[in-house]
Amino acid sequence: MEQKATNIFWHDGDITKADRERVHKHRGVCIWFTGLSGSGKSTIANEVQNLLFERGVHTYVLDGDNVRHGLNKDLGFSPEDRTENIRRIGEVAKLFVDAGTVVMTAFISPYRADRDQVREIMPEGDFVEVYVECDLAVCEERDPKGLYKKARAGEIPEFTGISAPYEAPEKPELVVNTSEETDVRKNAQKVIRFLEEKQYIPAQD
């Protein structure tokens, strides 16, 4: 394969992840946000996406909105279904990474074994676990979707943090504590700085 211009290539075989990364000028990687409901996973992921989009980085966010009602609409919240939910999201994220995308996933993903399984299927370095740490009391106080209230009233069975376990990561690549820092932009920038430092994306001029 011979480079003919800045972002144009002739190609005889199939296009590889490395080909795409060369054209995109950044790496394909999965940023896996995990944390309690209301901790701010989706908000931070979307803010990171906004900042990266401005910089021409190819991004996509997988979250409940586009996955739970589509690909995983046949799954509930039992331990088995949660495991299958995360397995499928991991496989889809892997495809986006292969496509040279900075794909961010924003799911509670409460079980350590499930997250480790996703890490396992990705090439070394392509999986970045971000623990969105937040006190349960703070999440419950925020309760943006009124879910904690319903869970406390017994209307939602197996609700993470109330009636189902959350297993915090033991060695996440990054921790963002949203009880201590409530500014979304600052939390997003912490993720961006990590991506720059580890050379997933070029540092800004």
Task: Select the span of 67-75, 146-154, 173-181, 197-205 touching its own copies (CB under 8 A).
Answer: 67-75
Contact pick of 60, 68, 119, 158 for its own copies (by CB under 8 A): 60
| 105 lines the binding site for its own copies (CB under 8 A) | no
| 101 lines the binding site for its own copies (CB under 8 A) | yes
CB 7 within 8 A of CB 23: yes
| 23 lines the binding site for its own copies (CB under 8 A) | yes
Distance in Å, CB of 19 to its own copies, minimum: 7
| 10 lines the binding site for its own copies (CB under 8 A) | yes
Contact pick of 29, 31, 62, 151 for its own copies (by CB under 8 A): 62
| 25 lines the binding site for its own copies (CB under 8 A) | no
| 58 lines the binding site for its own copies (CB under 8 A) | yes
| 184 lines the binding site for its own copies (CB under 8 A) | no
Contact pick of 3, 18, 66, 149 for its own copies (by CB under 8 A): 66
The smaller minimum CB distance to its own copies, of residues 159 and 200, is found at 200
| 204 lines the binding site for its own copies (CB under 8 A) | no
Question: In b/e form, how buried is each residue of 133-160, taking b as 16+ CB within 10 angstroms?
Answer: bbebebbbebeeeebbeebeeeebebbb
Residues that bind its own copies (CB under 8 A): 7-12, 14-15, 19, 23, 46, 49-50, 53-56, 58-62, 66-67, 70-71, 88, 91-92, 94-96, 98-99, 101, 121
